[in-house]
Structure 1
């Protein structure tokens, strides 16, 4: 199909960007359009200048090469949700099951021996985890829709970890239009999640502690898992006057507080300022390309933290491995690059910069040198 044969309503009019990209041929495959030709400026500049025209026509463009030729691939933006998102629903239901399974054990209940008791007792734990993670991701989703960036609904990841899940994610299918959108979408998740974290933690602190059943004996070879509480949760415990620990080893805080712990931990990891993590988005929006210099230092800091805890504080490798893992992951994510908005010309306003500083400060309140200690 030639450019002259393309229906005007199948994409933006060629005149809208003919001074940026010389179109030699247009092809169509389903709803996707392919504009073959030659960029008349640097590719990044071309994308910055043509992006709005495609977005106004309902398409998300990407300039790439195919078969040695430059091509703008334009896919429908698809901001609406058609029908029931079954994959999201099924993953959510599976995560409900996995969090109930793990939550029952925090209540000293065997979910295999007493499945109904597990469900009726552990549902507050499951609800706490889902509210914290769901609110975080919905923060991203709402701001994505506000800035007209194509994003999916949250995908929960069921897995029998300490909290019964590996978290939740949303897919960002569209590019960020500018630094303001990049900041708003990046910061909305941690800030919304922290609001939910504070609410869940306070509720959990006021709930009665959990008592191990009579005769409970894990045995001399049992492995004990101890969660460290970050400053934010300690502050909330101090303000409410509620204890976080008990002298009786068979008494534990209510598991809903663990939902708050999970919210802090997720926020801390997401605010690591590299690549496609929330912290990377915020730093990129605040400092532009200078964020990449920060990202190269982050893995070194995480490896150094692991080394300090192991060699100076004498924690076992099992207890500091999390920072070794995240140091390696941060290096990989940093090498993959950060999100680049279509336009980086306009700087952030003072209010957003102040909010960015506050977001990272709240992230520091979620820091735990050894989040999970394995004893035994």
Structure 2
């Protein structure tokens, strides 16, 4: 056995009861412990993980060149240098949401300074998405789980983006950490969404220009956003309209569309399957029982697509749910996160989870967008 072990790394004898080490190597910053297991994988990881974590290492069980090896690498939760990829994607998403928002403010020349009129829309969309992902990031840092800063996804759509994601690496300590990291995004995002909703409803409506109102019917295309119960309820409490049926020259302020984005993204993330927030939460709440429920989710989404297509006669929305049904199939096959300590979750967190899923239901609408030609 090599003696080339860093002073701060655990000695093989400290976990000899579950892993018999016969060689230790160092490769760059990694410390590799080659050996033979003396316990099942679950017990092995549950035993060695806290030993390495308290010494500042992330550890995982791997197989290299046909040999079992515990791979330990220094735990670094900080951002290493300037995250240029994150910065670039964020900048591109600012531009893409500005261009998308220009349409909601009826700006014709996208190269003119008038495009800054769409800045409130951009701030609303990026605000709700960014706060959602930062909720995950902060919770991950709190529990010592390595996570990247948010990666925004710029796409030329009606809202200018496909959302944002963070990447997590390493073991999940326990169900409490899994739940808190999973629920932090939806709750933080919904809090931001409520603020954006109130601001958007209080801002003055946008006036539809004459060139739009007087356009021939064959040249017009109406895009209708259907609002979920949660957004309608806030509008009702504030006494603010979401439609202006008696005045076709007025439409709701585009910041409200940003609030719609926040609620729609919250619902999608709360779908209880795989690596989605809802999947993390349900796995933490019910343990391995989650694996029995997860395969049902794609079927429910496909059934929703059929209902929307045949009953509500909304083909575009049906396609959306078919796509998400396929995504759910992939997520089921990918599996869920298994925490190191799989002890049951406390009742308070279970109650928070149920409440959060109910908020997700209130943020749901079967036909999110309708395009009328």
How would you bin the TM-score normalised by the shorter chain?
over 0.9
Taking the aligned partners of 1:218 and 1:156, their CA distance within structure 2 comes to: 36
Q: Which residue of the other structure, out of 355, 359, 364, is the alignment partner of 2:361? A: 364
1:311 Cα deviation from its structure 2 partner: 1.7
- 1:139-150 residue pairs with structure 2 within 5 A? 139-150=135-146
Aligned twin of 1:89: 87
**Distance apart, 1:312 and its partner CA:** 2.3
**What whole-Å deviation, never above 9, does each CA across 1:265-301 have from its counterpart, x for those lacking one?**
1000000000000000000000000011111100000
Q: Distance in 1 between matches of 2:210 and 2:312?
A: 37
1:104 maps to what in 2? 102
| TM-align CA RMSD | 1.4
1:204 aligns with 2:200: yes
- Residue equivalent to 2:173: 177
Cα distance in 2 between the residues matched to 1:180 and 1:367? 27
Task: Check whether the contact 2:283–2:290 (CA below 8 A) recurs between aligned residues.
Answer: yes
Aligned with 2:59: secondary structure?
Answer: strand
CA distance in 2, matches of 1:226, 1:362: 23
Query: Which of 120, 132, 136 is the aligned partner of 1:136?
Result: 132
Contact 1:3/1:23, CA 8 A, preserved across alignment: no
Deviation at 1:84, TM superposition (A): 2.4
Tell me how far 1:212 sits from its aligned partner.
Answer: 1.6
1:338 match: 336
Deviation at 1:355, TM superposition (A): 0.3
Contact 1:101 1:111 in 2 (8 A): no
| 1:203 and 1:256 in contact (8 A); partners too | yes
Query: Does the CA-based 8 Å contact 1:61-1:73 persist in structure 2?
Result: yes
- Residue deviations 1:57-102, cap 9 Å, x none? 2221111212221111222221122332222222212111111111
Q: Is the 8 A contact 2:5 2:31 kept in 1?
A: no
Given that 1:105 and 1:111 are in contact with CA atoms closer than 8 Å, whether structure 2 keeps it comes out as no
SS in 1 for 2:63: strand
Asked if 1:235 is matched to 2:214, the reply is no
TM-score of the two chains, using structure 2 as the length reference: 0.96
| 2:314 alignment counterpart | 315
Q: How far apart in 2 are the matches of 1:39 and 1:221?
A: 70
Q: Distance in 2 between matches of 1:66 and 1:99?
A: 45
Distance, in Å, in 1 between the alignment partners of 2:195 and 2:215 is: 33
Counterpart residue number, 2:188: 192
1:155 Cα deviation from its structure 2 partner: 1.3
Q: Given the alignment, which residue of 150, 153, 161 partners 1:165?
A: 161
Residue 10 of structure 2 is aligned to residue 17 of structure 1: no
Distance 2:199 2:61 in 1: 50
Contact 1:137 1:168 in 2 (8 A): yes
* Range that drifts further, 53-62 or 252-261: 53-62
Which residue of structure 1 aligns with residue 294 of structure 2?
Answer: 295
Question: Is the partner of 1:3 in helix, strand or coil?
Answer: coil
Distance 1:105 1:160 in 2: 12
Matched, 1:352 2:370: no
Residues in 1 aligned to 2:10 and 2:155: alpha-carbon distance in whole angstroms: 44
- Residues 61 and 111 (structure 1), Cα distance of their counterparts in 2 relative to 1, 3 Å cut: farther
Give the number of aligned pairs.
370
Partner of 1:76: 74
Check whether the contact 1:319–1:374 (CA below 8 A) recurs between aligned residues.
no
Q: Say which SS state the counterpart of residue 69 (structure 2) adopts.
A: strand
| Aligned counterparts of 2:317 and 2:6: Cα–Cα separation in 1 | 62
Q: Is 1:123 matched with 2:119? A: yes
SS at match of 2:360: helix
Is the alpha carbon distance of 1:66 and 1:111 closer, same or farther for their aligned partners in structure 2, counting shifts above 3 Å?
farther
| 1:314-337 Cα deviation digits (max 9, x unpaired) | 222x23111100011001101110
Is 2:4–2:25's contact at 8 Å kept on the other side of the alignment?
no
Structure 1: gaps spanning 5 or more residues: none
Partner of 2:314, secondary structure, is: coil
Q: Against the structure 1 CA distance between its residues 70 and 254, is the aligned structure 2 distance closer, same or farther, given a 3 Å change threshold?
A: same
Match of 1:53 among 51, 54, 58: 51
Deviations for 1:123-174, whole angstroms, at most 9, x for unmatched residues? 1111111110111011111111111111111111111222111111111112
